[in-house]
Amino acid sequence: MQKRRVQIVGATGYGGLGMLELLLGHPQLEPVALIARDDAGRRIDEVYPHLTGRCALVVQPPDAATIGADCDVVVFATPDRVSVEYAAALADARVRFIDYSGDFRFRDPADYAQYARAHPSIAETAHPLAALLGRAVYGVPELFGEQVASAPIVGNPGCFAIGMILGLAPLFADRLVADGTVTVDGLTGSSGAGKKPSPSQHFSHLNDNVVPYRVFTHQHVVEAQQTLARLSGGHAELHFVPHLLGTTRGILSTMHAALARPMPRDALLERYREFYAGHPFVRVLDSPPTLKGTLGSNYCDISLVTSADQRRVVVISSIDNLLKGQSGNALQNLNLMLGLDPRLGLDRPPLYP
């Protein structure tokens, strides 16, 4: 069987690299073009020597004539407002694509504007290609897999957002969250900020340190709230405090909520297992998950604890921010878009220790 051809735009960042690493082990997909502004003209195994003997494609500079040519699908592993530069031409040529940024996570221009107002690097809140938003699907495969399979455009979720959404989806679907309000503490490794260095990511600052940032203002809250409200048909309000850890990978989200009615822990755990039955990358555990439990994998591990009076719940989810939080989830979506088993290229255990 001939392999499907995948082009990666933003191939030399962590997100593009993650997709490339996964594709090199995929039985039915192959990377055919690597495109990036940084390191254009160099072989990818010169940029990342750990790929020696695995891939020697030369990084090409971005060009409108190149992006979308001679491939079955394009992956934009790029920041906000990059994919929109090429999206109209791709749509006209009927080339499907998946985007890591927030450019196509929202079908309503007003919802996108809310996200853009919360994003520190977006100056203009109006979407430049609002007419295309209606063709896009928000890429949480456990919730919207059928829509993803037929979508011409998929907006891959933000890393914090997917950990919160998967952790809370059963509660919101069953309308079990009192007032729709949840307090969330998020812990993330430094790779979530991307490849380009900043003072806050210096080793001497992050090592042995925990740094709260963007308290109540993180842009991923917008998509998480909208998705959870969509599930419940009501209101969702997340009070989110992210923290940067002196680690490389992983996101641990601890979510606190009052229950709309008393529920025992065992009944809630059973409901979670029913909700995620048939979804191989969500594991519902008896004990609280840890960062190490999902390291290097596409799993989302979830568990919960209820208070003695069964009126409060703490839900904890763990993901690898570069896999289930980014390239792994994107490949899961890509498999669905191309009619493949969603586990292909991803069915591997976490790394330990």
Q: Provide the b/e sequence for 338-349 (b: ≥16 CB within 10 Å).
A: bebebebbbeee
159 is catalytic: yes
* From 55, 71, 159, 300, the catalytic residue: 159
Contact 132, 188 (CB under 8 A): no
Pairing label, strands 251-259, 29-35: unpaired
In the three-class reduction of DSSP (H, G, I as helix; E, B as strand; rest coil), residue 180 is classed as strand
Please tell me the distance from the alpha carbon of residue 133 to that of residue 149, in angstroms, as a whole number: 17
Whole-angstrom Cα Rg for the chain: 20
Which residue, 45, 43, 65, 63, is CA-closest to 54?
Answer: 45
Q: ∠ CA(186), CA(189), CA(193), 5° rounding?
A: 95
Going across the sheet that includes 237-245, the strands are 210-212, 237-245, 177-188, 251-259, 312-319, 300-306, 282-284
216 with 237: CB under 8 angstroms? no
99: CB partners within 8 A, 6+ apart: 76, 78, 83, 153, 154, 155, 156
Tokens linked to 236: 């969702």
Distance CA 3, CA 30 (A): 6
**E-strand spans in 128-197?**
136-138, 153-155, 177-188
Q: What positions carry a catalytic annotation? A: 159
